[in-house]
Amino acid sequence: MRHRLKGRKLGRNGSHRKALFANMIRCLLQTSNGGGAKVEGRIRTTLAKAKELRPVLEKLITIGVKAHEASVAAGKLSTGLKKGDERYLEWRCSESGRLWLGAQGKYLHFQRSLFAVLRSRELVDLMISAIAVKYVGRDGGYTRVVKLAKSRLADGARMAYLELVDEAATLPVV
């Protein structure tokens, strides 16, 4: 019996599942940036993989939204002084400089959390600057799973699209 067991194994061990999810998320983010896919912001996969990937992707987008908000907060607290200037050193020791450093630390933490999964500086920047901006006022529900009528010919697996909500809202199901 599978009492109190969470998630599907998908025929893989833990590290293989983690790598699979990271690769699928990278693929989805690259297609949302015009990466040469048939439809932007959407990947086609099995229904089981899409259902397991969805919460992982939602959490990453939430981290991206928090990183964007921390970046905006740090930008409001920053000063226009150059780093080598004496006034900059005085400002860094002041209360406003400490507040800026705290906001910058939050941004750096979120950025590193995204990098741990995405493993690409370009994708982290894309997530924070382009994708997370669309979802700043939204409380979750960034993705959807659309089931396809046809099963895969090879093994009969149920297929589905995993898509970002705002980008794929106007796109037809192929």
Q: Where are the domains of the chain?
A: 14-168
The span from the CA of 23 to the CA of 20, in Å, is: 5
Tell me, what's the pLDDT at 33? 65
pLDDT at site 84: 81
CATH superfamily of 14-168: Ribosomal protein L17 (3.90.1030.10)
Q: What single-letter amino acid sits at 78?
A: S
Instruction: Supply the DSSP symbol for 152.
Output: P
Query: What local confidence, expressed as pLDDT, does residue 23 receive?
Result: 95
The residue assigned the tokens 């669309």 is 134
* pLDDT score, position 22: 95
Q: Return the biggest CA–CA distance within the chain.
A: 69
Predicted confidence at residue 81, as pLDDT, reads 86
pTM of the model: 0.86
Question: Could you read off the pLDDT tens digit of each residue along the chain, which spans 174 residues?
Answer: 879 888 888 889 989 999 999 999 999 988 766 655 567 889 999 999 999 999 999 999 999 999 999 999 998 888 888 888 888 888 888 988 889 889 999 999 999 999 999 999 999 999 999 999 999 989 999 999 999 999 999 999 999 999 999 744 444 555
Please report the pLDDT score of residue 36 as a whole number. 55
| Cα separation, 144 vs 51, whole angstroms | 9
pLDDT of residue 35: 58
Calpha distance 9→6 (Å, rounded):
9
pLDDT attached to residue 168:
41
